[in-house]
Structures are given as C-alpha cells and as structure tokens.
Amino acid sequence: MIPKKNKFWSSKAYLLVIVLALMCIALQYTGLADTLAYERSLIANGQWWLLLSGNFVHLGINHLWMNMAGLALVVALVWKHYSATQWLTLILLCSVGVGTGIWFFNTEIQGYVGFSGALHGLIIAGGLADLRIYPRSAGLLLILIVGKLGWEQFSGALPGSESVAGGYVLVDAHLYGAITGALVTPALLIQNHLNRKNKASDDAPG
C-alpha cells in the first residue's frame, strides 16, 4: 500500500510563505519600516520586539524585492521539506537569532532592517534536510552558502549587493541567521524522522 501525500501539510506551508511575503510588502508600502526597525536605543528602553520585527522591514523597495527574490529561491529549492509550523518556527527563531546576535556582538550597530539574515538560516535548514534525498545538489548548495558566508566575513559584502540594497550590508546578520538555522535543524529533522516512522507504522497492513 502506498501512503497518500499529505497535501494539506504542503498547502499550509505554501500559504505561510505567501502570508510572510505579503506582510513584508505591506509593511514597506504602508510606511511602517521606521516604526518596526531594529533600533538599539529603543530596544534598550524596553521595546524588545524590535529584535524580531526589524527582520521584516527594509531599507527601500529594492531591498525589499531583493529579499523577496531570495525567499522565492528558498521556496523553489527546499520548502517541501518542512511543515508550516516548522517553517514558522525557523522564521521566528532565525529572526530572533539575527536580532540578538546584532545586539550582543555588534554593539556599534544602532539600526538594522532586512530579512536576508533569516533567509540564510532558512536555506541552511532546507539544505540540511535536502541532503537525505539529493545529497549531491544539497551538498553543493550548502558549500556555496558556507563559501558565501566565509567570503563576507573576510572580504565584506558581495560586489554589487550594497548598491542594489541601497545601503550598508551587515554581513554578520547573515552569519547569525545561518548559525541559528543550523542549530535548530537537528530537532526538526528528528521530528520529521519520528513522523515518518510513525506514519509507516500506521500504514502497515494489519
């Protein structure tokens, strides 16, 4: 007996990414970027939610659409590997990881906006999950991402990225997001393994 694919699981995950993209677009076009941006002085005064919300607003339209293109790439390559709840967990934890990383390790940074740090966490998490099915392509993807992170740490932002984004690219945010994604992934992979094991047991003929 061949178990049916859980289409509801997949549809909820794809609905999540649509909601995420629409939220980022709405925040930008309604002028809430300044209100929700990471701002060190405001966070120090108790507005701790800016550690999270700063990831969902952007410097401008070009910065926004550059990150939305990155999100579309993540969806195309690896979105199938996790449920909506798991992706939401990754989005929130990677975003918080970026915000807290900047807070503790980049004390000179007074303001930050953008989803690119969290995106690096999502692509790392998706790539690690993809290793089980497509080890070569997933391995290549992870090598490229790690290589990009290494380049940024030693040589700064990729050529042209700052001109497209319209401002200084804080490459450390990419590193914090990637590290958070890598740390969260093992728990998600174990959860998925247990889910597959339980499903196989349920589908076994009696």
At 49-83, the pLDDT tens digits run: 999 999 999 999 999 999 999 999 999 999 999 99
- Residue pLDDT, tens place only, 81-134: 999 999 999 999 999 999 999 999 999 999 999 999 999 999 999 999 999 999
Domains held by the chain: number:
1
- Is 160 part of a structural domain of the chain? yes
Q: Does 3 have pLDDT greater than 60?
A: no
- Is 47 part of a structural domain of the chain? no
How far apart are alpha carbons 29 and 35 in whole angstroms? 13
- Residue pLDDT, tens place only, 159-197: 999 998 999 999 999 999 999 999 999 999 999 999 888
- Is 7 part of a structural domain of the chain? no
- Is 21 part of a structural domain of the chain? no
Residue 34 to residues 39, 50, 66, Cα–Cα distance (Å): 9, 11, 19
Say what the pLDDT of residue 196 is. Answer: 87
Say what the pLDDT of residue 21 is. Answer: 97
> Whole-model pTM?
0.92
- Is 83 part of a structural domain of the chain? yes
How far apart are alpha carbons 167 and 146 in whole angstroms? 23
Q: Which domain holds residue 149?
A: 63-108+115-197
Say what the pLDDT of residue 92 is. Answer: 98
Element (H, E) at 38: strand 38-39
- Is 12 part of a structural domain of the chain? no
- Is 164 part of a structural domain of the chain? yes
- Residue pLDDT, tens place only, 132-156: 999 999 999 999 999 999 999 999 9
Side-chain-side CA neighbours of 151 within 13 Å: the count stands at 9
- Is 187 part of a structural domain of the chain? yes
Say what the pLDDT of residue 159 is. Answer: 92
Quote the DSSP letter at residue 47.
Answer: -
